[in-house]
Structure formats: C-alpha cells, structure tokens
Structure 1
C-alpha cells in the first residue's frame, strides 16, 4: 500500500443534507414504545461528526430536548457507547479518552500511544486546549504525573506539538540522522534514548521515511527491527507507533483493531474508538491493510466478535452494512 496515497474514509458528509429531517427521523425512532434502532443507525452512520452535531442542534430546537440524552435512554450496552461516541465532538472525544486513560486505576498506555503518536501538531494542540477546558488541568501535567522514565519523555516531546510538517526531504539530513540513530543504538553498548526521541519527535514524517530507508540501506534490515532490539515496554510501543505512522498508518490501526478482537473477549472500548475516529479518515485503507495482514476481512472479524445493533452499527461505519 502506498503510504502517501490520499486516505479513503468510509463515512463522508451527506450531500444533500437536511438536519431538520434527520432530527425528525430520530425523534420518531425513539418516540413511544420500543426503539427503531435501524433508523438510528441509518442516520448516524451516514453523517459526518459535524453533521451529527448539527442534527443535535435541530433536535433541541424542535423538541426542547438533548438528542444525546434521548439516545442514552433508548440505547443500551455497547450500542449505546458507540452511538454516544458518534455524537461527541472529536476533540472532546479524544480529550475524554486521554483523561480516562490517565485517571483510571493504572494507566492505559495503549490509548496514550494511539492518540499522541499518530496525531499532527494541529490535532495535538486542539486536544490539549479542549482537555484544559474540560478538566481545568493541563494534559501535559496529568501525563507527566502518571508516567515515568523514557516513556514520559517521549510523550512530553510529542505534547510540544513541534514536529516539522514540511513535505520537503533533506537527503543529507536523512543520512546524518540514520548514522546518529545507528551510533545511538546498534553500534554501542546500551542505548542513547535521547537521540531516538529527538529524531522521531522532531522530523517530519516525509523526512523520517527517508531516514528509515537510509538506515535500512546501511544495516540491511528495517529500522523497526532496531527499535525492537534496543527498547522494551511502553517506550518501544510508542516509538514503533511513530514508525508505523510513517510507513503505514493504516497497518498500525489494523493491528490495533486485530488486537482488540483477538484472544479471549473483545476490548470493545478500543474497537469503538478506532472505528468511530477513523471512519471519516482512512477506514477503507485500514480494511485493506487488515485483510492483507490477517487473511480475513475486518467485516468477518467484527461479525464474529460482536452482536445485535452494536454489530450492525460498527459494520455500517466501515461501509459493510446498509440499514
């Protein structure tokens, strides 16, 4: 898969779009005895996040009620969770996920890695502003107080949102960085973690791609292998997430989806977060990467690991179900 191909979403803004008509459909779906979940799925899975918020505004204008509250009262279980996620403004959703990852018993490092290691400067900045507004505290301070060591330093660097985002590539810089990374890792006893942190958190993704190619041409193996050999634990997972964001972000999220469904039980919260947030970005690419890596479609995995309206909603969001 070409990492620089234009991302392909499965959910795009509806056109034409009539938020008042959608609000009326949702009201009818929840009025009286029973709930018409099919209509809820049909509307919410085929509108963008911004359009859903517009529908909520029209709903309150028409009926004097919060759409979120009505949906919460009518839906249950994981179906309720995915529906409420769809109705949350994206920056608030990410802020809530990060706060939950930090404030729960034990830190959910996977969520911190998934969000901070894959986001652009602009996205990280907006999430930090939203987090501060919602929780009256700094995301940086909360992460700093809940993590430690080289993993904390990696997250602190990423929170600075100071990555070069130019598409220009400096070939000399790529060679210099590749040599510096080699000297900081495989050519020495122990690892100079600060060099890896500085290069992977500052350089643009285009520049890092050139550096990784240079590294492989010198060593004969992918840069990813060096990370696996030199690091362990959360810092290894964080650095690998950055490398994957450079080489194939779709494959990174495909691996995360597979992990959420593999083994005993399903990590539904992670499954929901990735499908809700990536459906408007690159879910078609993720589906393609998933099938290439695991030999079975994402649709088949979801069908085997979920059920009911929850399953139908997830399948609609990945473009595999038409309610």
Structure 2
C-alpha cells in the first residue's frame, strides 16, 4: 500500500504545477500532457520512402527516428502509403528486420490505439495463465469511447466478443467487475456531487466494515460507474465514517483478483499518472526488466499523459524515468524509449 501512503495525504483534485491553457478565439484549449506531438511539415510519402529504404538497409536508427517522432495518426498515414507503394504489409516488413523487444515496440507504434489494446487483451488471455493486472489496467484507464473501440476491434480481428473472453478466462467477482467496466458507461463529467459522495461512502462502509461478510457488488457498482473526481470525493467522505481509508478497507475485506482489481481502480481514480509511474518502477525494479510493461505504458500513454507520468516518477522515486530507463535498457531499445519519454 506504499502508493496510498504517498498520495492519500494530498487533497484531490491535485493541481498541475505546469498546467496552462492556449486560447484560440477566446476559447481555452485543454492542456496537452503527451510527449509525442504531430511532426511539423509532415510528408507521409517522403517518410514511407525513407522507411522503406531503412528497412532494406536494416537501419534501426532511421526506422525508429521516424516511428517515435510521428504521432499515431501520422504513422497510420505512413503505413498506408508504405503498403501501397511497397506492396507489402509494414508489420511484416518490420518483423523481417527487427526482433525481440525492438520488433514488439515497432509493431506497437504502428498499431492504432484500439488495435494495440485489442492485441494486449488477446496476449494477456492466451496461453498458460491470464495476466489479470493488464486487463484491469486497460479497462480502468481507458475512456468509454476507447473501450467501445476496443470491443469493436477485438471482434473484427479475433472474431470473438470480448465479453465471452472475460467470462471464459476469469471467474467470480473479478469477472463481474471486468464486465461492469466493459459496459463503458462510467460517468466522465468533472462535476462533483457532495451528497452523492457522502451517500456512496456510507454505502461502502455498510457493505464492508459494518456488516459480517462483504457486499462486493456495492463496491463494484460504485467504483466502476463513478467519475474519478467523484470517487476522490467519496474517498474523502469515507474517512468521516471510518477509522481507516477505503483502500485499507478493501484490503481487509477482499482477497485475490477482486481485491487487486478494486485497489487498482482506486489508484487510477486518485492519480492515474502515479498509477502508471508505479507500473514503470516495478518493471525496472530489482533483477531483470519487464520490457513488455515499458512498451505497453510508454506507447499507450505517449499522446495522453506521459509528461505527467514522467513528473510523477521523479517525485515518487527520486530519479528521472529517463535515468531509470538508461540503467535498465540499452542500444536502440533504450534510445527509442527515451525519445518517447521526451527531454528531461
């Protein structure tokens, strides 16, 4: 529970120290926290030609110089032009010259976000064992529209409904929680209802600490349908009806996959960037490196909030994310990940 020791001393919503707005015709533009931006003077034809030449020469520097410095939308245009001119799938072309983690990274970069999520879901549920934490990570951190896109693409690519996959690969309350998130009906407003927060806190207290046994459905219903700001207010209200925090109550009342699932939902609601910073830290902590996690997080968040994740990492662990990556990776894989992170 180290995460909560660090973050439950703060008041939510947290203020972003570098938050600013850009005004266009007197209308504020939301701040951008991604590290990858559209490449200026973009030319899909020129990039596709350069990429084709680099693949033939197996010039990894040039391949990744293009892939990590273009937005996902630009990569999709490059991919379309490449395949039209080369007469070959860009995926297969990259697979023919790149291997291991470089291959995985390149394929992640040229996938649309929905296709990448579908691939991650498929990989997490195939073979021996299920990587439950990846399923929770995806469903807890995507918008309603992103989840709807994920379901559509998964059905198109793998010819199976995602609901059926979850039912076959998980069980019990954990299945119920995943299916609840998969409905993609979470409140996404920024407004906070104090009365609702107080009522939800009391319901959660009644469902857990106050009664014998645990009404898990009450926890699932509230944690999977309320907005992040609303849940943060509920967490604060919970402290007025209980002597312990809500995460601690979940830890005491529940065990196994459902405990981990609900704890992760709480973490994401409290501070999504810190949630991902913790993921990256564990991927590089101790002996060995979990390259899959580095690729998954850095690629999927590079146009959303990776700048904030980088800031949280430094605040939580005392070194920059870039320095941690330099310590744990090398050569082309290192340079590509550092380019995604942006300058220190």
Decide: shared fold, TM above 0.5. Answer: yes
Alignment partner of 1:248: what SS? helix
Q: Number of paired residues?
A: 319
Q: Distance in 2 between matches of 1:151 and 1:120?
A: 20
Q: 1:192 aligns with which of 210, 215, 232?
A: 215
**Partner SS state of residue 117, structure 1:** helix
1:240 has 2:252 as partner: no
Q: Does 1:41 align with 2:64?
A: yes
CA contact (8 A) 2:58 2:97 kept: yes
Aligned with 1:94 (options 117, 133, 137): 117
Paired with 1:14 and 1:76, the residues of 2 have a C-alpha distance of 26
Q: Give 3-state SS (helix, strand or coil) of 1:187's partner.
A: coil
Q: State how far apart, in whole Å, the 2-side matches of 1:287 and 1:222 are.
A: 27
Q: 1:171 aligns with which of 194, 208, 212?
A: 194
Correspondence 1:7-156 to 2 at 5 A = 8-31=33-56, 34-156=57-179
* Correspondence for 2:204: 181
* Separation in 1, partners of 2:332, 2:343: 14
TM-score between the two structures when normalised by the length of structure 1: 0.93
- 2:212 is the counterpart of 1:202: no
Q: Equivalents in 2 of 1:288, 1:220: separation in Å? A: 32
Q: Which has the higher contact order (CA 8 A, sep 6+)?
A: 1
Q: Decide whether the 8 Å contact of 2:280 with 2:297 is kept in 1.
A: yes
Q: 1:320 to 1:166 in 2, by over 3 A?
A: closer
Secondary structure of 1:179's partner? helix
Match of 2:141, SS state, is coil
Unaligned runs of 5+ in 1: none
Q: Distance in 2 between matches of 1:52 and 1:151?
A: 36
Q: Tell whether the 8 Å contact from 2:205 to 2:241 is kept in structure 1 after alignment.
A: no
Closer, same or farther: CA 212–278 of 1 in aligned 2, 3 Å: same
Residues 143 and 4 of structure 1: CA distance in aligned 2, closer, same or farther (over 3 Å): farther
Gaps of 5+ in 2: 1-9, 17-30
- Name the CA shift for 1:135/1:66 in 2 (closer, same or farther; >3 Å): closer
- Report the Cα offset of residue 19 of structure 1: 0.8
Per-residue CA deviations over 1:68-120 (Å, capped at 9, x if unaligned) read 22222121221111011101111111111111111221111011111012222
Q: Secondary structure at the match of 1:8?
A: coil
Structure 1 contact 3–247 (Cα < 8 Å) conserved: no
